[in-house]
Amino acid sequence: MSVADPAAPTAGAAGVRALFNPTSIALVGATDKSGWSLNTHLNLKDFPGEVYLVNPRSETVHGRPAYPSLSALPGPVDLVYVMTPTRAVIEVMREGAGLGIRSYVVLTAGFGETGAEGRALEDEIAAYAAEHGLTVLGPNGNGYINAAAGVTPYGLPIPAGLPRGSVGVVLQSGALASAVMNLAMARSVGVSLLTSMGNETQVTVTDVLGHLVDDPETKVIALFLESIRRPDEFSAIARRALAAGKPIVALKIGRSSLAKSTAQAHTGALVGDDRVIDAAFAQLGVVRVRSLEDLIVTAGLLAQTGPLPGRRIGVVTPSGGASEIIADRAEDEGLDLPPWAPATVSGLSEILPDFATVQNPLDVTGYVVVDRTLLGRALDVATADPGIDMVMLLSELPRIEPPDPEPVVKMFTANAERINGSPKPIVVISNAMTDVSAFGREVARRSGFPYVAGGIEHGMTALGAALRWSETYRRARAAVPAQRGTPVRVPGLEGSPRGVWAEHRAAGLLSAAGLPVVPSALVETSEEAAAAADRLGYPVVVKAAAEGLAHKSDIGGVRLGLGSAAEVRDAGADVLAAMGKAEVDGGGLLVQPQRSGGVELLVGVVRDASWGLTLAVGLGGVWVEVLKDTALRLLPVDAAEVRRALDELRGVDLLRGARGSRAADLDAVADVVARIGALAAGLGDRLESLEINPLLVRGSEVEALDTLIIWRD
Amino acid sequence: MSVADPAAPTAGAAGVRALFNPTSIALVGATDKSGWSLNTHLNLKDFPGEVYLVNPRSETVHGRPAYPSLSALPGPVDLVYVMTPTRAVIEVMREGAGLGIRSYVVLTAGFGETGAEGRALEDEIAAYAAEHGLTVLGPNGNGYINAAAGVTPYGLPIPAGLPRGSVGVVLQSGALASAVMNLAMARSVGVSLLTSMGNETQVTVTDVLGHLVDDPETKVIALFLESIRRPDEFSAIARRALAAGKPIVALKIGRSSLAKSTAQAHTGALVGDDRVIDAAFAQLGVVRVRSLEDLIVTAGLLAQTGPLPGRRIGVVTPSGGASEIIADRAEDEGLDLPPWAPATVSGLSEILPDFATVQNPLDVTGYVVVDRTLLGRALDVATADPGIDMVMLLSELPRIEPPDPEPVVKMFTANAERINGSPKPIVVISNAMTDVSAFGREVARRSGFPYVAGGIEHGMTALGAALRWSETYRRARAAVPAQRGTPVRVPGLEGSPRGVWAEHRAAGLLSAAGLPVVPSALVETSEEAAAAADRLGYPVVVKAAAEGLAHKSDIGGVRLGLGSAAEVRDAGADVLAAMGKAEVDGGGLLVQPQRSGGVELLVGVVRDASWGLTLAVGLGGVWVEVLKDTALRLLPVDAAEVRRALDELRGVDLLRGARGSRAADLDAVADVVARIGALAAGLGDRLESLEINPLLVRGSEVEALDTLIIWRD
């Protein structure tokens, strides 16, 4: 996927930036009776600007003077945090707008989430905000924590010591914010801005993503998603993030919801919503994770490393058992652990104890307890290995402060200098996921020791994800834009194509676009069919040809392996009779040479309700019908992306010549499939689906044997 | 797998019990210069018995009087902890044995792990121990922590506050012990006995497992395994643990090592070492996990719950976002989240706020912040639902101590009483894996709140594993012993069968055992073949029949689809000529009716080098050759176990009638496959492999079409 021509920032970018950077704040609806109010007020105690409390019925709130209204405030305000009853929210906005206040965070609930009545109130807010150029976060959201700027209008307790840093967090579930912050603290992952989205009446996830892509304090974005409301906007922002080298790490729930089949063609059933999201994320460089732990650990790792150079990893550990767990997990993640180069082997042999085994992963042995320099010296030798792109070091920050911490700090400082000065990236992962202790944080701070990913399990998941993201990032930088589809001029397309196009018409479209299609003759009688078969050469196939007939086989409309004119005449008569019986209008016969051998693919393009045209490619027969073995891509795709899709198929070995089959020219296949995608993308908004089943592959010969196109009405 | 007739405890059970329960300990080789010595001495400071220090060159060690030798000690000793130089270890044992001391923990390294010389010293120790009835843990191991009894001869620091409890931990990697203990602390998982095995010269993992199965303090065993040296002993102990209802949770590394093909037959290549371990663990009820986190979280959960009643789970949470993560993870783990019963729906509707949605998983909403009784009351209603077997509650222990902790303690006490008094199990899982804080531990202790599994990700993994273990446990309790194979009397078996048995002879063995085999005629000439075909009915198959010929197709020895006597004569002549050309001895022809339709299975029994006879079953063709879609089981198996194996196949839908195929009678298939397993098990130690490929299934008809048997020489 190309990152050229990224979408422009969304319209409200300046408003969103202002929302997150106020210089004075009014808490409207502040009251001693509300925990939310208490929390928000407490959270803002270090806010450098003014914080005003507004309550029409109390002169004092939280031990401070309160004002009856926004108009009564003694100074200007540029953010209103709204905690009033539901019906009063619009009044607050009206008053604020009149005073020129543009930014609102609405904690108040009782809107769209409660039913139609609340929905109407929420619509009123949205309309008012749009009309008056206001920026509204929420309602029914806890607010945000701009940790970088120390601006924290947020209604729940913020854990003491939440580290500031470069991970932007965007949450569609406010209830998870505490868990996410506790995890970030436990893992020493610093946060730039955390936003609890609420109902997204106006400011949406994509608005906040856009802000974070532009935010110099943010290097990585961690995202909890329940639904993607505007895939087009999301795609545009994701492309912009990828172009900027800012990874988006996303926990998108709803994997288990059953996919809705939206298309009539076979492909439709193969494209589950969630699999399309997987495909979209992979193409867009959005790292999809499956747990809160992976969300934070992966974001933390990418914030430390940025793009990583390659998959060849040298592993240095002080533990044999851990080395073996790492080897298992590296294979899961598709990482390479090449053998050390000869010079590395001899270098390591010189410094390691005699009983150590020099291999990758390297166990420098428990002698680290005796010789505190051993691990660092081994790291130097390993990092210099010419056959690796990067090093993974297994190391723990200390948990308990010893009576004299200085030797510990000294050791970590020495290794930190090694790591931070290394020409190759060195990623540090600990044994298991236990919290970084206060002493561990202190040692890291004093020594400059880098981020330690929390445990082999999640650390290796993060490393694998980071490397896949890095590859997508590099491809995006190198790519020329994929064809978005060129409008195609074909007889029949000038009007408004509709319904199901019969095979001969669909195949004609493919041919006109220069795609390889099996030769065929469209005839009206069985006698003409026999004559056509004589010309084409035996054996042949005779098929029913009629507009609107999507499933020829269902009416007995396909006859295979016809070896003589007589057989063709009989079969033709049978098919015509079957079409008559099925009351198919205006039917004819399609005669084609019968192909044998090769591997059959299914190539389908279907319009996903959310994400638009989606390409599915898979092996035919049981592979799609029983195994659902297809790879999906959003259009547009280039041939290289199709090639990667083919490589994902479980049955790809059949294309590579398994079981004595002729090895397919996968580049030739990818080229044809990419051109099919480009054709489909050029067919306009009325295309519902285009399916070629089978696309026959014999070596470098690729040929569409049957094609079906369905148009939207 | 049956648990009847469990193996007797291993020979040294009494010795192992004594090893872990000494009343006085001598540290030999104690010295102020060694960190190990300092640690061990410090670890034993609360040991209730005598601890003596032995050092021939110092009168004072660790600030206490030291003695020059074991003989010089002022009182009796029943455990010696050895930290001397390598060559002195045997002398210490000799002196101790002379004094009647039976138990030894050897920290000293430099033995087998360093090479041949060390191996010889280790063998000397082993021989001496065996001869004199000593029990030796190690060498090259850190010792053990008997937390239940307060006996801790252990050479590395033990984290302060390591909780006592009912999880026994056995580690083949000493370097991981600290990570495991820190995790156990962080997760509040109490340990009964932790053992760092070292070289396992004498006391092995299975010895310690046997001890823990008998240990009343231990409810669950957590195991880190690098290799299983004696699968037979391991199986016996695992069966005993399952019968006792004590789950073994194992992190077995080496998933990524390439499997060794040990068998000549096709099946051999399908049976990777690690997949056999998976199969063995599943049958034995050993819970295999893939991370240290899962090891501890799963062991902790099973220690809390014991066997769980069923997979129908009601989920109660205070968070919508978490509910959705749980729904995704529940599907991954194969758990059922049924809709609430009508009475539950109305009960929940009464107590929940209006805007709450009553579904499973249940989000009782953020109103828990306002009404602290809400979660507990919802839990009562949910637990009473008649359609669920158990409840999962999402709840966190508090992290930070508030100024007045009593309301928190009160709330947790109320919920603890609910949970602990519930007629259905209630499993508690937190949002994310952060350490249980000191205050959280205190609240749990004071309130009696149960174990909280660490985070949705690992908690749901643990819950899935616990439910699968519970099912295996119940099956084991209900099962009658599976047939271990009855010795079979067949012509040719009386002698010493060897090499490759041709199809006709192998098929004869199957027939003699009452298994369904395609009819066939063994003839010598092509003319006789034609006559046989006339009798059998056309079409037929003609195959080369000769001893030692494993792969008939390779020499052109299989001719299919012969429709007339003339075709059979020609084909027969061709096959005989091909056999002559390939210099096959004493060849004949095998004539069989050709079957059509149905689904082809491969059923293979192969002797795994470690685990013995292993059954592989899968669909034929691409399913095994490209997808490696087979299910494995150790023999013996009963038909129910085979049925479960069939259900594991990715292609099982083909057997169930996908793509218009006739649905197979899976019970009939399982019965035949189980009988094939029983036959193989009855063929004795010389059987290398028995493979039926294909076993044709047409509805309830099951028939072996080709059979190959290979014997060991």
User: In the 3-class helix/strand/coil scheme, how is B23-87 assigned residue by residue?
Assistant: CEEEEECCCCCCHHHHHHHHHCCCCCCEEEEECCCCCEECCEEEECCHHHCCCCCCEEEECCCHH
Q: Which of A224, A322, A432 sits opposite B321 (nearest CB)?
A: A224
Q: Are A362 and A317 in contact (CB under 8 A)?
A: yes
Give B129 to chain A, closest Cα distance, Å: 25
Q: pLDDT value at position A674?
A: 96
Pairwise CB contact (< 8 Å): A291 & B625 = no
Q: pLDDT value at position B493?
A: 65
Indicate the length of chain A as a whole number: 713
Q: Are A382 and A427 in contact (CB under 8 A)?
A: no
* CA dist., res. A631 & res. A276, Å (int): 10
* CA dist., res. A623 & res. A625, Å (int): 6
Q: Which of A113, A292, A324 sits opposite B431 (nearest CB)?
A: A292
* CA dist., res. A187 & res. A436, Å (int): 6
Phi-psi region of B200 (alpha: psi -120 to 50; beta: other; left: phi over 0): left
B254 touches chain A (CB under 8 A): yes
Q: Which of B115, B434, B625 sits opposite A186 (nearest CB)?
A: B434
Q: Across residues B365-377, what is the average pLDDT?
A: 84
Residue with tokens 């931990």: B169
CA A301 to chain centre: 17
Q: Are A415 and A379 in contact (CB under 8 A)?
A: yes
Residue of chain A minimizing CA distance to B458: A291
* CA dist., res. B17 & res. B8, Å (int): 15
Q: pLDDT per residue over B209-268, tens digit each?
A: 999 999 999 999 999 998 888 899 999 999 999 999 999 999 998 876 533 322 233 333
Start-to-end C-alpha separation, chain B: 30
Q: Which of A170, A323, A324 to probe by mutation at the B interface, max B CB count within 10 Å? A: A324
Closest C-alpha among B600, B603, B642 to residue B622: B600
A316 touches chain B (CB under 8 A): no
Q: Confidence band (pLDDT; 50, 70, 90) for B490? A: low
* CA dist., res. A286 & res. A334, Å (int): 18
Give A627 to chain B, closest Cα distance, Å: 7
* CA dist., res. A167 & res. A185, Å (int): 12
Residue B274 burial (C-beta neighbours within 10 Å; 0-12, 13-18, 19+): middle
Q: From 2.40.30.10, 3.40.50.10480, 3.30.470.20, 3.40.1480.10, which CATH number describes the A599-711 domain?
A: 3.30.470.20
Hey, where are the domains in chain B? 13-303, 307-478, 519-593, 599-711
Q: Are A106 and A138 in contact (CB under 8 A)?
A: yes
**Percent of all residues in chain A with a pLDDT value above 70, rounded to a whole number:** 93
User: What's the CA angle centered on B512, arms B511 and B515, to 5 degrees?
Assistant: 40
Q: Confidence band (pLDDT; 50, 70, 90) for B2? A: very low
Which H or E element spans position A615? strand A612-619
* CA dist., res. A152 & res. A155, Å (int): 9
Q: pLDDT value at position A662?
A: 78
Chain B, window 603-622: residues with a beta carbon less than 8 angstroms from a chain A beta carbon = 621-622
Q: pLDDT value at position A440?
A: 97
In the structure encoding, which two tokens stand for residue A514, read together? 């220069």
DSSP A254: -
Q: Where are the beta strands (DSSP E) in B75-142?
A: 79-82, 103-106, 135-137
User: In the 3-class helix/strand/coil scheme, how is B388-418 assigned residue by residue?
Assistant: CCEEEEECCCCCCCCCCCHHHHHHHHHHHHH
Residue of chain B minimizing CA distance to A356: B114
Q: pLDDT value at position A365?
A: 84
Q: pLDDT value at position B430?
A: 98
Please provide the DSSP assignment of A100-140 as one string: T--EEEE----SGGG-HHHHHHHHHHHHHHHHHT-EEE-SS
Q: Which of B224, B328, B368, B429 to probe by mutation at the A interface, max A CB count within 10 Å? A: B328
Q: Where are the beta strands (DSSP E) in A413-507?
A: 426-429, 452-453, 500-501
Q: Which of A109, A173, A293 sits opposite B457 (nearest CB)?
A: A293
Tell me if the pTM is above 0.80: yes
* Residues linked to residue B390 through DSSP beta bridges, in sequence order: B313
* CA dist., res. B259 & res. B277, Å (int): 11
Burial string for A418-450 (b: 16+ CB within 10 Å, else e) reads bbeeeebbbbbbbbbbbbbbebbbebbebbebb
Pairwise CB contact (< 8 Å): A433 & B431 = no
B491 touches chain A (CB under 8 A): no
* CA dist., res. B206 & res. B110, Å (int): 24
Q: Which of A172, A183, A432 sits opposite B182 (nearest CB)?
A: A432
Q: Across residues A73-79, what is the average pLDDT?
A: 96
Q: Are A673 and A603 in contact (CB under 8 A)?
A: yes
Q: pLDDT value at position B268?
A: 38
Q: Across residues A119-134, what is the average pLDDT?
A: 95
Domain B307-478 falls under CATH 3.40.640.10 = no
Q: pLDDT value at position A555?
A: 82
Q: Which of A317, A325, A370, A400 to probe by mutation at the B interface, max B CB count within 10 Å? A: A325
Least confident residue range of A665-674, B137-146, B656-665: B656-665
pLDDT at residue B302 greater than cutoff 70: yes
Q: pLDDT per residue over A186-235, tens digit each?
A: 999 999 999 999 999 999 999 999 999 999 999 999 999 988 888 899 99
Chain A, window 524-563: residues with a beta carbon less than 8 angstroms from a chain B beta carbon = none
* Residues linked to residue B68 through DSSP beta bridges, in sequence order: none
Q: pLDDT per residue over A298-338, tens digit each?
A: 999 999 999 999 999 999 999 888 998 999 999 999 999 99
Give A291 to chain B, closest Cα distance, Å: 6
| Strand ordering across the sheet containing A164-171 | A143-146, A191-196, A164-171, A220-225, A248-252, A286-289
Q: Which of A253, A330, A432 sits opposite B292 (nearest CB)?
A: A432
Chain B, window 451-470: residues with a beta carbon less than 8 angstroms from a chain A beta carbon = 455-458
Q: pLDDT per residue over A357-396, tens digit each?
A: 899 999 998 777 778 889 999 999 999 999 999 999 999 9
Q: Does a cis peptide bond (omega within 30 degrees of 0) precede residue A9?
A: no
Q: pLDDT value at position A355?
A: 78
Q: Confidence band (pLDDT; 50, 70, 90) for B6? A: very low
Phi-psi region of B50 (alpha: psi -120 to 50; beta: other; left: phi over 0): beta
Cβ pairs bridging A and B (under 8 Å): 209
Q: Confidence band (pLDDT; 50, 70, 90) for A651? A: confident
Q: Across residues B677-697, what is the average pLDDT?
A: 92
* CA dist., res. A170 & res. B107, Å (int): 51
The CATH class of the B13-303 domain is: alpha beta
Would the CA dihedral through B436, B437, B442, B443 be positive or negative?
negative
Q: pLDDT per residue over A569-618, tens digit each?
A: 999 999 999 888 887 777 789 999 999 888 899 999 999 888 899 999 99
Equal fold, B13-303 vs B307-478: yes
B-chain residues near A180 (CB < 8 A): 432
B327 touches chain A (CB under 8 A): yes
Q: Across residues B451-467, what is the average pLDDT?
A: 98
Give B513 to chain A, closest Cα distance, Å: 33
Q: Are A51 and A76 in contact (CB under 8 A)?
A: no
The values of phi and psi at residue A485, to 5°, are: 100, 130
Closest C-alpha among A392, A418, A417, A397 to residue A408: A397
Pairwise CB contact (< 8 Å): B293 & A431 = no
Mean pLDDT of chain B: 90
Q: Across residues B598-616, what is the average pLDDT?
A: 91
Q: pLDDT per residue over A239-266, tens digit each?
A: 999 999 999 999 998 876 533 322 233 3
- ipTM surpassing 0.85: yes
Residue with tokens 């209802």: B245
B-chain residues near A457 (CB < 8 A): 290-294
For residue B76, CA distances in Å to A307, B30, B99, B556 come to: 64, 18, 9, 79
Q: Across residues B535-562, what is the average pLDDT?
A: 86
Q: Are B10 and B214 in contact (CB under 8 A)?
A: no
pLDDT at residue B357 greater than cutoff 80: yes
| Strand ordering across the sheet containing B164-171 | B143-146, B191-196, B164-171, B220-225, B248-252, B286-289
* Residues linked to residue B593 through DSSP beta bridges, in sequence order: B540
Q: CA neighbours within 13 Å on the CB side: how many for B329? A: 28
Q: pLDDT value at position A2?
A: 30
pLDDT at residue B483 greater than cutoff 60: no
Q: Across residues B14-36, what is the average pLDDT?
A: 95
A327 touches chain B (CB under 8 A): yes
Instruction: Give Rg (Cα) of chain B.
Output: 31
* CA dist., res. B285 & res. B176, Å (int): 24
Other Cβ atoms within 10 Å of A528 Cβ, number: 18
Largest CA distance in chain B: 102
Mean pLDDT of chain A: 90
**Which numeric CATH code is attached to A519-593?**
3.30.1490.20
> Is A554 strand, coil or helix?
helix
DSSP A245: T
Q: Are A164 and A192 in contact (CB under 8 A)?
A: yes
